[in-house]
Amino acid sequence: MKKIGFTVFMFFAMVLFVFPQWGHAAAGSTSIYLDGKGLELTKNGQVQNVKGNVMIPIRVVVEELGFDVDWDKKTRTITIQQSDTQLKLVVGQSTALVNGKEVKLAAAPKLVSDTTLVPLRFVGEQMGLKVNWNNEEKAVYLITPNSGSGNGTGSGENAGSGNEGQTPGQVPDNSANLANVGGISFSDNRLMIAVDKNVKPNIFKMAGPDRIVIDLPSTKFADSFSTGQLLDQTQNGYIDVTEYPDVSKVRYALFNDQPSTIRVVLDLNHAKNYELINNNDGLIIVNLNTDASTPGTAPGGNGKKLVVIDAGHGGSDPGAISITKKKEKDFNLAVVLKVQELLKQESDIDFVLTRSSDTYPTLQDRVKIANDLKADIFISVHANSGSATASGVETYYTRSESLSLAKVMHKYLVQSSGLKDRSVRSKSLHVTRETKMPAVLLECGYLSNKNDNAVLYTEDFQNRVAEGIVKGIKEYLGVK
Contacts with Zn ion by CB under 5 A lie at 1, 312, 319, 382
CB 48, min distance to Zn ion, A: 36
Q: Which is nearer to Zn ion, 1 or 105 (CB)?
A: 1
Question: Measuring CA to CA, which residue among 460, 461, 292, 330 is closest to residue 393?
Answer: 461
Torsion 203-204-208-210 (CA) sign: positive
CB 3, min distance to Zn ion, A: 9
Q: Which is nearer to Zn ion, 327 or 382 (CB)?
A: 382
CB 1, min distance to Zn ion, A: 4
CA atoms of 187 and 203, how far apart (whole Å): 19
Starting at the earlier edge strand, list the strands of the sheet with 219-221.
219-221, 179-187, 190-195, 283-287, 275-278
First to last CA, the chain: 32
CB 383, min distance to Zn ion, A: 7
Q: Which is nearer to Zn ion, 284 or 444 (CB)?
A: 444
**Helix 328-343 and helix 459-477: axis angle, to 10°?**
50
- Residue with CB nearest Zn ion? 382
Question: Measuring CA to CA, which residue among 363, 379, 392 is closest to residue 440?
Answer: 379
CB 187, min distance to Zn ion, A: 52
CA atoms of 454 and 470, how far apart (whole Å): 23
- The type of residue at 90 is V
CB 427, min distance to Zn ion, A: 13
Please state whether the peptide bond connecting residue 295 to the residue before it is cis, i.e. omega within 30 degrees of 0.
Answer: no
Question: Measuring CA to CA, which residue among 226, 227, 218, 183 is closest to residue 198?
Answer: 218
CB 31, min distance to Zn ion, A: 33
CB 444, min distance to Zn ion, A: 10
Q: Which is nearer to Zn ion, 47 or 383 (CB)?
A: 383
| DSSP string over 62-101 | HHHHT-EEEEETTTTEEEEEETTEEEEEETT-SEEEETTE
Contacts of 96 (CB under 8 A, 6+ apart): 87, 88, 89, 90, 102, 103, 105, 122
Q: Which is nearer to Zn ion, 319 or 445 (CB)?
A: 319
Q: Which is nearer to Zn ion, 312 or 445 (CB)?
A: 312
Per-residue burial over 182-198, b = 16 or more CB atoms within 10 Å of its CB, e = otherwise: bbbebeebbbbbbbeee
Q: Which is nearer to Zn ion, 149 or 322 (CB)?
A: 322
Beta bridge mates, 275: 287
CB 311, min distance to Zn ion, A: 10
Q: Which is nearer to Zn ion, 163 or 322 (CB)?
A: 322
Q: Which is nearer to Zn ion, 444 or 477 (CB)?
A: 444
CA atoms of 261 and 168, how far apart (whole Å): 12
C-alpha distances in angstroms, 309 versus 24, 306, 360, 434, 466? 45, 10, 14, 15, 11
